[in-house]
Chain A
């Protein structure tokens, strides 16, 4: 054997030294290991046992699992002795027992131990029953799979089957409440993509979203291209060791998505459909026709309170309602007469002429009806799957179309997937996993950002009665919300194709060689025509844009895997990887305006415009990787994982293209030890891992000096102008840019009490990121504002708990609860690493400290999301005028703390006041099933401890007298609030600060009920299974301190009612 390997090695002269060394080392370890173990006696066939009594009997048999498959490695022990062996690869055993009345114990992790008295039998065939189903689940560990029981890292698996009743419409819907330590953002758009973050923010400026791996291949596309209905399970790798096999990109964790494949001899047709409606929930609203006038009146009382008294009567009160004895004073103030007084009053409230006319005529508009709707949602999926002999197939087709609350916020997609796998020969398996998607994001939504600005006394159409009114109240602060939707024509579509073809070659000695070749193709186009019918776009003859983008990429993975069990007790799984990838992006754009003779052809003929502008951009990105991993298990009791990966990337191409990422993990199944056998603690596993991972999530070419091109004008001597190019160096180069690296420790415990009554796991971690990719602040003196550099250190610590309890199990009623909890603490340890002197007020050096980056809100020793701001001590009250006046303030203005008492508000007065990100997150899912066919469940989701600013609390917007505003509380002399300022308040001496509010909330995220049509009914039809479900997403919310609508999105949050039907034929 050795000879062959040598030949093989020397047959490849051009190998780079490092690679060959790595491979040789690994193979030699394997070979020597194999030789060494081969010398050991084969226990499975000839069990040599102590003792020479004549009564000795030979018992043989076969151990199978619940499906009848042979189980290798099952421990067979003679009760009360140390005599024992393991079953062989075929599940067979042969054991010598001291006497005929001995008792045999059959045990295997995850299975209930069986006690079988021999009673003279010489053949005992038994079947073991599962005790903890989850332990035998297959989990994706990166370039391979493993049984949960053999895991050493922190991996959480989600089976999509369990979430079906909630009719998830995106991958993020699947993930939101399922995984402790995974934070999924909220999206209220029709598309529904959300941000993902595993554990804490490890970086300062580089990206921090996790790596998505789709069917074993790194996926660079848009998550919405993956149909959630095609997904069988998701594995979220959180600790460094499990993610380490993806080295360079694994800092932020990995989400591995496995799609469905065919099983079962009979072809299965599955039909899943859901229809739903999205309605408004927890929305903040602007002032309506009535409260609008009151608000304006209060505003002007506040603005002019110093000069215009408002006791007895106020010039801002309706002259028809004030005490008539003051009417003459009122008229004199406005220098008007009774005929003009209402108009004078409204003009004083700064209503525009149009608004006054509408007020007088009693015309009002409720913009709610014009901007918002109830969104319809539809999702249809059909799939065909099965397995015939050695050939499995899965094909699906899905169509989804969603509307969000904002009119015109629409998203539709068609997605199809083919997964095929077959055995070409005995030793060669080939397959394809291909995904096609089409996305249409053409629709132009109503401008819901205008909702707050639009006043109820506006006019919908322009004076011509046809065109939309550019500014419905004739003030530029509020534009018509349907302008773009009406006058913009857009076609924006994405086509993507993501096929992976693979072959698995089975080699002798249990070695397999897998080759994946994946291509990624994306076609995107965005055509826009802004019509000249628009009231202001007409001035430049309309404009049109055509953007086309082509994304191409390929990846190749060569994976060697060797899985072998030596002497029944040494399980070895070796994986090696050689990978390379290349991605290219090409985009072409053109713009034109001043179309002549007119712009009716829009973007279909760009050439009729007279101000063409071209733009193009081409980018290339390459990477390669080598990886080796060894999983070793001793009797499934002691587990070890070692891995090393070397990555290279063109992003750091000049000086430091490559980096090494090692990891190690240990596991110990404590309950396998005889001294820890217990009926209460059924299962206990302790895991520990350490590893280093990288982050390369920065803009392409960030290391390079870059020159931006622009255009300017020049003129010849006679005054005729022409366009000239301009150049400017926009970024400093940093050829020494390198990988950001995160070192992480993870300690995990998995446990199971009373045979699954309560089970769960606890993870604690500590991560330290160094060489952080920082877009570093430079003194503007340099002419540059920032440069990409590796500096600084960020630490994250956290705790995650996940519990499952079987609360009740009766024949007609079952109740389970899942609870997850997580918390993360972040600390910036260092930013630049440069220490400088600290001075006191008189210029004496009082110490050394690394300076904070105030501009970025980064402070040494603080969390990245810390809030550093002036502290609001409440409002100045009536009676505190004198003291307030020293700050140029008055009652109703916010009182800011002058920490150093110098009478000025400077940076020295800012304080740390909490955090922007949640301090704690928990979710609780309760599942009920009753009368066999009914299921019900609800999910609570909670984020606690985060704060957010709400600018309107300051009421300092100076243009509110020209538009509408959100109807939120404000300070008034008769209602002296502390957390809201008076209308048109102003900060002391013009400083800028924010008003922070606690955003903690508990959300009833989902409620679902489902009914499974009984077999007795279906048996007479062609339908195999049928289930109907009804769910409400975002059913209720409790946010005690947040008063501005939904904490995640106060203007577009939606409650979704969905009816689902799942059917198998």
Chain B
């Protein structure tokens, strides 16, 4: 028995030790060590600023990536189309492809889904800042209001594009802390009302551009966006007041004289200087209202803007451009004797500009204005195919065309380019040339980019004057922008009276091609026409009642584009088509399907509208 007692004593001590050590309550508590949780970082100014900076850096994703989402706003407008002709997937035949079930966020299809999915992620970031701002520590109330105003601005920036792309959408204004699947669409009009209210706060509280770092939200940017909302609402005088505040505020000026890195290169001009990556955020340059910052060789940069890849023609594909004697004419290989790829980059024409963008918009009163810096070919600001030369190294010494300028037709009239959609286009070299030292074939390296620029502010004010019928003032604002660019023809009040909004849209395309979200702005103007009933230059009036059947967006695209209106066919066999209801993009069916306890309305014209219910009207606060 003694022995037994001994064993049990030993045993019980052992067990006791084990149980004490293993069953402490804290033993099973999770220990997150290497990542932040909301409770330990989103508690002060620094933490929330980092969230805001994440949201702000999304502007790079939108504007400066391969097949950047913003390109879709050019492709589905009067300014350009999708230029990929080597496959069937790109959305070109909008009637058959722009559908709720389609692949909507993919380089080979379209990126419109980015504006559905990713912009909600950015709205979530803004909502995180907005919802947590009262619980966080700030150095001052001013600092707090700056951040709140900045978050309001960015959220309003996202809802602006979203409502003008997708119409009525779910409105989320708070950080969500648990899964929710019970969303309903909210009317775009009531979303605008809310955004205007937020922006009015932002305009009061966000500092001027000279008080904040470049890349941060500025007071002028808030005013600029608010002016666009005012236009939507038909508040033209308010829009004129706001834009005038920016234009006359003394801080922002159009750049009219040579400056920056290349200012001593005599053949260049101020427009060239304005778009050099290294000039966009220097102190001298006050034209930018809002920028997004990206630099080569720095931690925190992107892999590049891909600006050349998106817009330069696909000239280097074997056999696509032939010499007049039938030989393969071009190479985009690096290191060849005539190194075109090092000078212009490798492009795949993700965006194919329309004839309007390349030719007709530059022809005023019958004259093709090649002195306009934005369309100047003698110094390479604007590039045409004829400025390139046959550079295929195999031609050297064997073919007389080596080194000779390209031509589209042979002397016998044979067309020498097998794919004029993708490989025979013009492009604004001054705007998209960004050095790309990490790539053998440059495609657009990291570089700063304008989000809003004062030139657009002038054109917004011009637009407001047009809506109001004050044509001389409108002409003056357009001409200010034109004079800076050395444009030869100046608009008269009569021109404006005749062309009305058409003149503004033309100048926007000259000044803001590959900068503005063309589709969004067209839709905005279409909505102003429909809400106000103002007569359009094409003689029509529009109404909100049948927007998806009859609208200015479709009429404009149909009037201008030489693709959608002619049902052009790509070498691959896709047709270009579009329909009036394409004014709004289809709500993705996955968004509707995963929202199991609520109803997100499908836009009229697309399959799946049967489940629609009356949208919510936001009237909170």
Contact = CB atoms under 8 A, between A and B. Distances in A.
A780 B109 CA distance: 19
B183 A714 contact: no
Contact of B54 (A335, A728, A842, A961): A728
Interface stretch (B122-130, B136-144, B517-525): B122-130
A882 interface: no
Contact of A618 (B33, B278, B589): B33
Nearest to A357: B394
Given A650-B31, A781-B183, A724 B318 contact: no
B179 A787 contact: yes
A707 B37 contact: yes
B474 to A, nearest CB: 34
Contact of B23 (A536, A624, A734, A836): A624
A474 B324 CA distance: 24
B11 A507 contact: yes
Contacts of B127: 783
B215 A580 contact: no
A958 B571 CA distance: 12
Nearest to B110: A990
B267 interface: no
Name the residue in A474, A513, A780 with the highest tally of chain B Cβ atoms < 10 Å from its Cβ.
A780
Contacts of A777: 594
A780 B394 CA distance: 52
Contact of B120 (A782, A841, A904, A959): A782
Given A712-B300, A783-B121, A854-B593, A888 B575 contact: yes
A585 to B, nearest CB: 10
A344 to B, nearest CB: 4
A782 B177 CA distance: 9
B438 A540 contact: yes
B589 A594 contact: no
A12 B16 contact: yes
A724 B414 CA distance: 56
Contact of B7 (A19, A508, A650): A508
B18 A350 contact: no
B266 interface: no
B600 to A, nearest CB: 8
B112 interface: no
B416 A335 contact: yes
Q: Tell me if B's interface is mostly helix, strand, loop or mixed.
A: loop
Contacts of B15: 12, 558, 578
B97 A653 contact: no
Given A350-B318, A832-B596, A723 B299 contact: yes
Interface in A305-352: 306, 331-332, 334-337, 340, 343-344, 347-352
A347 B21 CA distance: 77
B294 to A, nearest CB: 6
A337 B53 contact: no
Q: Report, as a range, how many residues of chain B touch the other chain.
A: 35 or more
A781 B610 contact: no
A729 B297 contact: no
Interface stretch (A65-73, A412-420, A609-617): A609-617
B32 interface: yes
Contacts of A40: none
A724 B300 contact: yes
Nearest to A473: B318
Contacts, number: 385
Interface in B277-332: 278, 281-283, 291, 293-295, 297-301, 317-319, 322, 324-328, 331
B30 A651 contact: yes
Interface string A702-730: 01111111111111111101011111110
Contact of A620 (B33, B35, B51, B96): B33
B232 interface: no
Interface residues of A, number: 141
A724 B53 contact: yes
B440 A470 contact: yes
A293 to B, nearest CB: 14
B239 interface: no
A843 B611 contact: yes
A587 B439 CA distance: 31
Contacts of A725: 50, 53
Contacts of B293: 712-715, 721
Contact of A14 (B20, B440, B572, B574): B20
| 8 tightest A-B CB contacts, nearest first | A783-B124, A336-B326, A986-B88, A711-B300, A958-B87, A580-B22, A843-B610, A726-B54
30 contacts: A11-B12, A12-B19, A304-B571, A337-B325, A349-B319, A357-B394, A539-B439, A610-B297, A613-B299, A618-B34, A648-B28, A649-B28, A650-B31, A653-B28, A657-B28, A709-B35, A712-B54, A717-B214, A723-B300, A729-B51, A777-B594, A778-B180, A780-B117, A780-B591, A782-B124, A783-B176, A906-B99, A984-B572, A990-B91, A991-B102
Interface of B: 3-5, 7-8, 10-12, 14-16, 18-23, 27-38, 41-42, 47, 50-51, 53-54, 56-57, 60, 86-91, 93, 96-97, 99-103, 109, 116-117, 120-121, 123-125, 127-128, 170, 172, 176-181, 183, 210, 213-216, 278, 281-283, 291, 293-295, 297-301, 317-319, 322, 324-328, 331, 333, 335, 392-394, 410, 412, 414, 416, 437-441, 448, 571-575, 589-591, 593-597, 600, 607, 610-612
